[in-house]
Amino acid sequence: MPSIENYRGIIPAIACPFTPDHRIDEPALRQLASWLAGHEGVVAVMTNGHTGEVFSLTPAERAEVTRIVADELRGRLPVISSIVLSLLHT
Protein backbone atom coordinates (compact mmCIF):
# COMPACT_ATOMS: atom_id res chain seq x y z
CA MET A 1 0.00 0.00 0.00
CA PRO A 2 1.43 3.40 -0.94
CA SER A 3 2.11 5.96 1.73
CA ILE A 4 2.88 9.64 1.79
CA GLU A 5 6.24 10.36 3.32
CA ASN A 6 6.36 14.13 3.14
CA TYR A 7 2.80 15.29 2.37
CA ARG A 8 4.10 17.57 -0.34
CA GLY A 9 1.90 17.76 -3.36
CA ILE A 10 -1.76 18.00 -4.16
CA ILE A 11 -4.37 16.06 -2.19
CA PRO A 12 -7.72 16.92 -3.76
CA ALA A 13 -10.91 16.44 -1.77
CA ILE A 14 -13.01 14.44 -4.21
CA ALA A 15 -16.66 15.41 -4.58
CA CYS A 16 -19.13 12.55 -4.55
CA PRO A 17 -21.38 12.43 -7.62
CA PHE A 18 -24.98 11.30 -7.16
CA THR A 19 -27.59 9.68 -9.36
CA PRO A 20 -30.91 11.48 -9.96
CA ASP A 21 -32.42 9.42 -7.12
CA HIS A 22 -29.73 10.66 -4.67
CA ARG A 23 -27.62 7.49 -4.53
CA ILE A 24 -23.84 7.37 -4.87
CA ASP A 25 -23.05 7.30 -8.60
CA GLU A 26 -20.37 4.62 -8.46
CA PRO A 27 -19.33 4.69 -12.14
CA ALA A 28 -18.98 8.49 -12.06
CA LEU A 29 -17.09 8.37 -8.75
CA ARG A 30 -14.67 5.81 -10.15
CA GLN A 31 -14.13 7.90 -13.27
CA LEU A 32 -13.50 11.05 -11.23
CA ALA A 33 -11.05 9.26 -8.92
CA SER A 34 -9.05 7.93 -11.86
CA TRP A 35 -9.08 11.31 -13.56
CA LEU A 36 -7.79 13.07 -10.44
CA ALA A 37 -5.13 10.41 -9.84
CA GLY A 38 -3.81 10.93 -13.36
CA HIS A 39 -2.76 14.54 -12.79
CA GLU A 40 0.85 15.43 -12.17
CA GLY A 41 1.46 16.54 -8.60
CA VAL A 42 -1.47 14.65 -7.09
CA VAL A 43 -0.01 12.52 -4.28
CA ALA A 44 -3.26 11.24 -2.71
CA VAL A 45 -7.02 11.60 -2.92
CA MET A 46 -9.23 12.58 0.02
CA THR A 47 -12.75 11.25 0.35
CA ASN A 48 -15.41 12.85 2.55
CA GLY A 49 -13.29 15.98 2.67
CA HIS A 50 -15.89 18.63 3.43
CA THR A 51 -16.84 19.22 -0.18
CA GLY A 52 -20.41 19.89 0.90
CA GLU A 53 -22.23 16.67 0.18
CA VAL A 54 -20.44 14.78 2.94
CA PHE A 55 -22.96 15.95 5.54
CA SER A 56 -25.81 14.40 3.57
CA LEU A 57 -24.15 10.97 3.62
CA THR A 58 -24.66 8.39 6.35
CA PRO A 59 -21.57 6.91 8.01
CA ALA A 60 -22.10 3.75 5.93
CA GLU A 61 -22.28 5.80 2.73
CA ARG A 62 -19.09 7.68 3.67
CA ALA A 63 -17.35 4.34 4.13
CA GLU A 64 -18.73 3.18 0.77
CA VAL A 65 -17.34 6.27 -0.99
CA THR A 66 -13.90 5.53 0.45
CA ARG A 67 -14.14 1.84 -0.48
CA ILE A 68 -15.09 2.67 -4.07
CA VAL A 69 -12.25 5.18 -4.51
CA ALA A 70 -9.68 2.86 -2.90
CA ASP A 71 -10.84 0.00 -5.11
CA GLU A 72 -10.63 2.15 -8.22
CA LEU A 73 -7.16 3.47 -7.47
CA ARG A 74 -5.92 0.02 -6.40
CA GLY A 75 -2.78 1.27 -4.70
CA ARG A 76 -1.80 3.85 -7.32
CA LEU A 77 -2.20 6.58 -4.71
CA PRO A 78 -3.09 6.69 -1.03
CA VAL A 79 -6.74 7.36 -0.23
CA ILE A 80 -7.38 9.48 2.84
CA SER A 81 -10.84 9.44 4.38
CA SER A 82 -11.65 12.59 6.30
CA ILE A 83 -13.21 12.31 9.73
CA VAL A 84 -16.49 14.18 9.80
CA LEU A 85 -17.99 15.25 13.08
CA SER A 86 -21.68 16.10 12.96
CA LEU A 87 -22.90 18.17 15.86
CA LEU A 88 -26.56 17.92 16.66
CA HIS A 89 -28.21 20.72 18.57
CA THR A 90 -31.09 19.78 20.84
Per-residue pLDDT of the chain (90 residues; tens, 9 = 90+): 566 676 788 999 999 999 999 999 999 999 999 999 999 999 999 998 877 777 788 889 999 999 999 999 998 999 999 876 665 544
Range of the structural domain that residue 69 is part of = 26-81
User: What span, in angstroms and rounded, lies between the C-alpha atoms of 72 and 85?
Assistant: 26
Of 12, 88, 19, 7, residue with least CA distance to 51: 12
Q: Number of structural domains, the chain?
A: 1
Q: In this structure, is residue 65 part of a structural domain?
A: yes
Residue 89 belongs to a domain:
no
Residue 77 lies inside a defined structural domain of this protein: yes
90 lies in some domain? no
**CA–CA gap between residue 26 and residue 11 (Å, rounded):** 21
Q: Is the residue at 10 inside a domain?
A: no
Q: Is residue 71 part of a domain?
A: yes
Instruction: Name, in order, each residue with C-beta under 8 angstroms of 73's C-beta and a sequence gap of 6 or more.
Output: 33, 34, 37, 45, 79
Please answer whether residues 65 and 23 qualify as being in contact, where contact means their C-beta atoms are separated by less than 8 angstroms: no
